[in-house]
Amino acid sequence: MTRLRTWLTSSDLAGIAVLALVIVVVLPLSLDIFRLNLVGKYLSYAFVAVGLVMLWGYGGILSLGQGVFFGLGGYAMAMFLKLEASDPESTKIQSTPGIPDFMDWNQLTQLPIWWEPFRHLPVALIAMLVVPAILAFIVGFAMFKRRVGGVYFAIITQAVALVLTVLIIGQQGYTGGVNGITDLKTMLGWDIRNDSAKYILYFATCALLIGAIFLCRWVQKTKLGTLLLAMRDKEDRVRFSGYDVANFKVFVFCLAAMLCGLGGALFVLQVGFMSASFVGIVPSIEMVIYAAVGGRMSLVGAVYGALLVNFGKTFFSESFPQLWLFLMAALFIGVVMAFPNGLAGLYNDYVKPRLLRKREPHSKPPEEQKPLPAASAHPPPVGWNPSVPRPRTDAKGVGPAAA
């Protein structure tokens, strides 16, 4: 028991394991398939939140347009599924059979050429990652190379979200407009609407989400992760240490965009449609709230944030639909003012110390907490002369070692 507690409080892997336990075992056992499918939808938003931890928490870049990338990934998948659902047999009542229904309603008589590649699943899968990444690269390259950052960058991402929404709604014949792309049925002949498919898609989402968390955790632990933190703190120092700061920002923006795209595609598979309402400004800001509530420095926290805010949204919008937006705004303001590190911050500040305190009487403090004599803590530097007194941190002797 004590060993378990040590592990739970010391390792970030434990946090991931607990999360995996909750979403893979606890929730499927305790919820019916309708509710579980909702959780699956929330988990697809969690990809965006995880991306925002990297982008906003680590990189210090606040994007209020992540819905754009979520939407692009979602549309890539929806286009493939729609084409599969629009075979000539099932669309024979249309004036042009074999094209998606909304195109027929908009007097299109031929499939637009840029839809053609989406007949193939591999193309759709690649596009769901690459299209968001390319857009993020273009926007990021243009902004970060010109040293646009902070509020200005956030406003520009909002503008991109607005532009894409207007474009999607305006080009009804090509995108399905406000209604979006609906009536998605099968993927390579596999019916995605029945319960067993929903279970499989749910678990696939869980697996990919855990994979995404591990990927981001790895990035955080590389030098690039350290550089992101360093840039957030002192950008000029990083620049004048020989790094092209913009490239690192572009990278993390693209990484976050790809995670959004993956989330969007999984969303479409589980919810069965895609529309412009997931692209615009409001959903994009909502996505930032997931990360803020969960804790923008914690990958696992962001997932809980996405789950909780969405549970809240579902609960309150079922009971008090008019109040929900106000509640969400209050939640965001409250979180930012009262606990800026979100749920993860609360856990680290209050729960973890308590767990540690409980453990102390039973077991020894962990190794690194033992006060070690300074001399043995670190090997002496190269060329260290033992006859010269080692500089110590007390008031008098502070200073560079005399050579």
Q: Which is nearer to other proteins, 362 or 390 (CB)?
A: 390
Does 388 help bind other proteins (rule: CB under 8 A)?
no
What whole-number distance in Å separates Cα of residue 204 and Cα of residue 182?
Answer: 22
| Shortest distance, position 55 Cβ to other proteins, whole Å | 15
- With beta carbons less than 8 A apart as the criterion, state whether 28 and 36 touch: yes
CB-based contacts of 232-237 (< 8 A; 24+ apart in sequence)? 232/58, 232/59, 232/60
Q: Which is nearer to other proteins, 58 or 70 (CB)?
A: 58
What whole-number distance in Å separates Cα of residue 132 and Cα of residue 256?
Answer: 9
Does 214 help bind other proteins (rule: CB under 8 A)?
no
Q: Which is nearer to other proteins, 321 or 399 (CB)?
A: 399
Does 389 help bind other proteins (rule: CB under 8 A)?
no
Does 382 help bind other proteins (rule: CB under 8 A)?
yes
Task: Record the tokens describing residue 294, joined without a space.
Answer: 């969960």
Residue with tokens 């403090």: 365
Q: Which is nearer to other proteins, 207 or 388 (CB)?
A: 388
Does 401 help bind other proteins (rule: CB under 8 A)?
yes
Q: Which is nearer to other proteins, 197 or 219 (CB)?
A: 219
Site for other proteins in 215-234 (CB under 8 A): 219, 222-224, 226-227, 229-230, 233-234
Q: Which is nearer to other proteins, 61 or 274 (CB)?
A: 61
Does 383 help bind other proteins (rule: CB under 8 A)?
yes
| Shortest distance, position 402 Cβ to other proteins, whole Å | 6
**Count of residues touching other proteins (by CB under 8 A):** 44
Does 349 help bind other proteins (rule: CB under 8 A)?
no
Q: Which stretch binds other proteins (CB under 8 A): 17-25, 65-73, 331-339, 380-388?
A: 380-388
Helices (H), 180-323: 195-221, 223-233, 235-239, 245-271, 281-294, 299-319
**Counts of helices then strands in the chain (DSSP H, E):** 19, 2
Task: Give the side-chain half-sphere CA count within 13 A for 203.
Answer: 10
Q: Which is nearer to other proteins, 236 or 318 (CB)?
A: 236
| Shortest distance, position 365 Cβ to other proteins, whole Å | 17
What whole-number distance in Å separates Cα of residue 127 and Cα of residue 130?
Answer: 5
Task: Record the tokens describing residue 213, joined without a space.
Answer: 């968390």
Does 379 help bind other proteins (rule: CB under 8 A)?
yes
Sign of CA dihedral 137, 139, 140, 142: positive
Q: Judging by beta carbons within 10 Å of its beta carbon (0-12, 13-18, 19+), is residue 350 exposed, middle or buried?
A: exposed
Does 376 help bind other proteins (rule: CB under 8 A)?
no
| Shortest distance, position 231 Cβ to other proteins, whole Å | 9
Q: What are phi and psi of 383, to 5 degrees?
A: 80, 15
Does 390 help bind other proteins (rule: CB under 8 A)?
yes
Does 381 help bind other proteins (rule: CB under 8 A)?
yes
Q: How far is CA 292 from the centre of its chain?
A: 12
Site for other proteins in 132-161 (CB under 8 A): none
Q: Which is nearer to other proteins, 87 or 244 (CB)?
A: 244
Does 4 help bind other proteins (rule: CB under 8 A)?
no
Site for other proteins in 236-275 (CB under 8 A): 236-245, 247-248, 250-251
- What single string gives the DSSP state of each residue in 327-386? HHHHHHHHHHHH-TTHHHHHIIIIIHHHHHHHHTTTSPPPGGGS---HHHHSPPPTT--T
What is the chain's Cα-based Rg?
25
Q: Which is nearer to other proteins, 195 or 233 (CB)?
A: 233
Does 403 help bind other proteins (rule: CB under 8 A)?
yes
Does 200 help bind other proteins (rule: CB under 8 A)?
no
How crowded is residue 237: how many other Cβ atoms within 10 Å of its Cβ? 11
What whole-number distance in Å separates Cα of residue 257 and Cα of residue 81?
Answer: 22
Residues that bind other proteins (CB under 8 A): 219, 222-224, 226-227, 229-230, 233-234, 236-245, 247-248, 250-251, 374, 377-384, 390-393, 396, 398-403
